[in-house]
Amino acid sequence: MKRTWHRKQQLVGYLFIAPNLTGVLVFFILPALFSIVLVFTDWNFANRNSFNFIGLENFKRMFNDDAFRISVKNTLIFILSVPVMVFLAFLLAVALNNSVYLKKTLRAMYFMPYITSGVAVAFVWMVLFEPYQGPINSFLKSVGVENPPGWLASPATAMYSIDIIWIWLMVGYKMVIYLAALQEIPEELKEAARIDGANVFQVIRYVTIPLVSPTTLLLMITSFIGTIKHFGIIQALTEGGPGQATMVMAQLIYRAAFRYYEMGYAATISWVLFMAVLLITLLQWYTQKKWVYY
């Protein structure tokens, strides 16, 4: 009787998760497996007769493609924003975890960009970064800066401008995660450190930072993954321009697949991007033994 009851319970459980499992299978696992096949083909979605196996030709093309090299460089610049945003989120969380005037209002204000429409964010920052009459450059000129940056309009500064916008957009979310971690720290530990003579900075250094290190690891891993595969805000702001100054790897994949319909080439870049994400994640997971305290 017990075995029959357990089997019935298992069947009910499988029935409950079946819709989600079906979705994962149809929209994630099967396309991923199919993309492995596409890596070795020249399939062009617009040409039904182009599904031919070409071996490693897509890899040869990729490593000789200037656009791919530029996208790798831009992606590396883009992920530089991750440690900056995590660091700023920690500072904001520490500040807003204490008794601060309008603390709840400030928390909401910092979190608001994260839930704001990406198109609206892009439009606002395009106005702010307008190189000739935009508010930021107008202010810089008023304080004596003769040649303010071109921001999104200049190839030299466009990618760094994207970093600034991305940090502003994401820092509030990470701050909320840190706030949850900070509120789990026993106040007795901080009080004991103060009794032993630790000042505010020493309490943060030797008590707060080690105790929130698992949260830091979580935010670093998820932020790297989210950043390295993101292209929506870049598409809305610059579409990869000026020239190819802000074209990241995810955007190159989008262009190859949905502008030129080169599915085989897009799949090849996708798997290279996946391997990069996997290696970065494994590296962080391996090094966490030296700085994460559980």
The pLDDT tens digits for 129-158 are 999 889 999 999 999 888 899 999 999 999
User: What does the pLDDT read at residue 164?
Assistant: 95
pLDDT: which is higher, 7 or 106: 106
Instruction: Name every residue whose Cβ is closer than 8 Å to that of residue 268 and which is 6 or more positions away in sequence.
Output: 38, 39, 58, 59, 62
User: What does the pLDDT read at residue 44?
Assistant: 86
When mean pLDDT is compared across 169-173, 210-214, 228-232, the lowest value belongs to 228-232
How far apart, in Å, do the first and last CA atoms of the chain sit?
A: 43
Q: Where do runs of H (alpha helix) occur along 97-212?
A: 103-111, 118-128, 135-142, 158-182, 187-195, 200-203, 209-211
Q: How far is CA 138 from CA 7, 146, 192, in A?
A: 71, 10, 51
Residue reference for tokens 């990470």: 174
Over residues 47-80, the pLDDT tens digits come to 777 788 998 999 999 999 999 999 999 999 999 9
This prediction's pTM: 0.89
Report the C-alpha gap between 76 and 45 in whole angstroms: 30
How confident is the prediction for the chain on average, in pLDDT?
Answer: 90
- Cβ atoms of residues 276 and 228 within 8 Å: yes
Per-residue pLDDT at 1 exceeds 70: no
Per-residue pLDDT at 278 exceeds 90: yes
User: What does the pLDDT read at residue 290?
Assistant: 85
Over residues 21-43, the pLDDT tens digits come to 898 899 889 989 999 999 999 98
User: What does the pLDDT read at residue 3?
Assistant: 67
Q: How confident is the model at residue 118 (pLDDT cuts 50, 70, 90)?
A: confident
Residue 115 tokens, joined: 């839930």
* Average of per-residue pLDDT across 240-259: 92
Per-residue pLDDT at 174 exceeds 90: yes
- Cβ atoms of residues 240 and 246 within 8 Å: yes
Q: 2.30.290.10, 3.30.300.130, 1.10.3720.10, 2.60.20.30: which CATH number matches 58-290?
A: 1.10.3720.10
User: What does the pLDDT read at residue 99?
Assistant: 73
Residue ranges per structural domain of the chain = 58-290
User: What does the pLDDT read at residue 81?
Assistant: 95
* Average of per-residue pLDDT across 101-126: 88
User: What does the pLDDT read at residue 291?
Assistant: 87
pLDDT: which is higher, 98 or 192: 192
